[in-house]
Structure 1
């Protein structure tokens, strides 16, 4: 082919209209990811060149999604939210699991970059900040971090608001008539621990109260929830409310309270966190818990990524509020 390659040349090679070629190359209109990719591939084969200021609009219609969550407990709801948003914008998702291994994550990102993805969603399995994705050997890809934020404030991250959740947990217990409140926690060094406790302590101060016992730090397992609750009961302080920083701890605490002959929630009300269905709904007493709104985190992350891809940069951390789901482990007292 001689001379300058035109949109009509690309349209004929891709067997589509000139209007479709324009939409595909400018990332506008409602086109399928397949059609968009075919047009872009034909344009590259023919050597079609756009004005250099518009060249950044060439898109593949593919989004890379890298998860660190091996079990899928956190990643799957976020993936659902992200895919719904990306699918509506005619983007397809390439999903990989790094299993929390930085080297494997890097390998997956290199492979997805080689496939020409337009951007990356990086999903964490915990809320602790993580190092940003290294892009030294890659073309600069738009990246949004979900659940686990980047520790670079210039990056774009979407997380849940654990501080507000901690405060809401205490206010809910107080609204249920509880005043002697204890806390059972996982490891002290986790950011989720520190933030939920920060909110809980603030709400206690505002109510003119103090925790009935020192915070019981341990692990995130049900066995620790049981042990910690037994220790609290042995103190004979008369605790009537327990805030557990995840649902496993809450389930263990409820088991221990029943073992001590106490009724939940009549004698002691219990609040958990994470709203994991297989834990909160499977015992004799269902657990009041906080939902991290992971689907919404996925949706908002995808929207921000599409925005960045289209040339509208975003920086900093966006917090999504957690939702309190009230069940049988708490009950309002007249």
Structure 2
């Protein structure tokens, strides 16, 4: 195909690719879309012809022919939060590998606003929806919709839905196992809002690991708020009731920061006298703590990637139900270590 000097270059079409490869337009289309009905050598010939002609298929036309829009909708309840943003980043990473556009909406924790955004996204003919909660507790299902839905971070209450969450119980267990490995045996648990299932799950993970090791935690688990103020108050209570404490496992990095403040004011060295752990691995807090805070990373970007992968599978007709749990990991830093002798 030649073009006169100075004349505008005609766009290469699928028919041009088919002609150069010596196949039909239908075969060229199947080859470029990865269909299994085409022989390997034929597909290679078509791909070579497309590369030679610098053929770029019309994305919109391809989506229209497939009956899809090439977009997914993401509805979050915590757009400015440190938990939803990593989840959304992971989802967008996964979407980008498939050249899928993402439409993002913020429901701000409002069920009515969520319904509005869902209907608006359906009106835009999205191929699927991902719903990211503001807290990791089960939430009401959106019910039956015309497109697949995956719930991330906050699972659906309906076991027939698809959900992806982080393993909060494992996070607590990893903390306790680490503290035990550091030689700690007088371990207190300070966690957050008791209305959060995650607060109980993290504490349960700590207690399970201690029980396996034959170690009794110091008193009852202490529940309060996800704040530094509660961490300071709780640490003072622990020191008053158990002055021989040698480790405090905290349900969040905010709480742990408050615990560190009180220990410092009480003249307790961290980690020599008392080891401290957090949960969330929010680096803004963990790295600026004195000393840097050992914390549990919930792998939220992986939660987002897995949720997006499940959504793409469902769009292709390979949907599944149930909740997938993503393991978390412990990130050791200066707030833990062997007890001073």
Common fold, TM-score beyond 0.5? yes
Q: Is the 8 A contact 1:144 1:155 kept in 2?
A: yes
**Counterpart secondary structure, 1:217:** coil
**Alpha carbons 2:174, 2:329 under 8 Å: kept:** no
The aligned counterpart of 2:95 is 86
Cα pair distance change 1:213/1:237, threshold 3 Å? farther
Give the Cα separation in 1 of the matches to 2:270 and 2:123. Answer: 55
CA 1:72/1:235 → structure 2, altered by over 3 Å: closer, same or farther? Answer: closer
Is the aligned partner of 1:113 residue 2:119?
no
Is the 8 Å Cα contact of residues 72 and 126 (structure 2) preserved in structure 1?
A: yes
Deviations 1:165-186 (A, max 9, x none): 1111111111111000001111
The 3 A distance-change label for structure 1 pair 69 and 289 is same
Alpha-carbon offset, residue 83 of structure 1: 1.1
Contact 2:253 2:278 in 1 (8 A): yes
Q: CA deviation at 1:40?
A: 4.4
Q: Answer whether contact 1:66 1:105 (CA < 8 A) is retained.
A: yes
Q: Measure the CA separation in 2 of the matches of 1:27 and 1:128.
A: 41
1:290 aligns with 2:296: yes
SS at match of 2:131: strand
Residue 20 of structure 2: aligned partner: none
Question: What residue number does 1:197 align with?
Answer: 203
Aligned-pair RMSD on alpha carbons?
2.5
User: Is the 1:247–1:274 Cα contact (8 Å) retained in structure 2?
Assistant: yes
The TM-score normalised by the length of structure 2 is 0.83
Which structure has the larger Rg? 2
1:36 aligns with one of 56, 59, 82: 59
**Residue 75 of structure 2: aligned partner:** 66
Query: Which of 128, 133, 142 is 2:137 aligned to?
Result: 128
Question: After the TM superposition, which parts of structure 1 deviate over 6 Å for at least 4 consecutive aligned residues?
Answer: 23-30
> Is 1:220 aligned to residue 226 of structure 2?
yes
Aligned-residue offset at 1:275: 0.4
Q: Secondary structure at the match of 2:276?
A: strand
* Counterpart check, 1:300 vs 2:306: yes
Contact 1:37 1:59 in 2 (8 A): no
Corresponding residue SS for 2:58: helix
User: What is residue 7 of structure 2 aligned with on the other side?
Assistant: none
- The offset of 1:59, in angstroms, is 1.3
Give, in whole Å, the separation in 2 of the partners of 1:113 and 1:195.
Answer: 35
Q: CA deviation at 1:85?
A: 1.0
C-alpha distance 304-91 of structure 1, shift in aligned 2 (>3 A): same
Q: Is the 8 A contact 2:260 2:290 kept in 1?
A: no
In structure 2, which of residues 262, 275, 283 is the aligned counterpart of residue 277 of structure 1?
283
**TM-score scaled to structure 1, two decimals?**
0.84
Give the deviation of 1:79 after TM superposition: 1.5
2:176 counterpart of 1:167: no
- Partner Cα separation in structure 2 for residue 243 and residue 224 of structure 1: 14
- Give the Cα separation in 2 of the matches to 1:21 and 1:113: 29
Tell me how far apart the structure 2 counterparts of residues 288 and 75 of structure 1 sit (CA, whole Å): 22
Structure 2 Cα separation of the partners of residues 131 and 72 of structure 1: 21
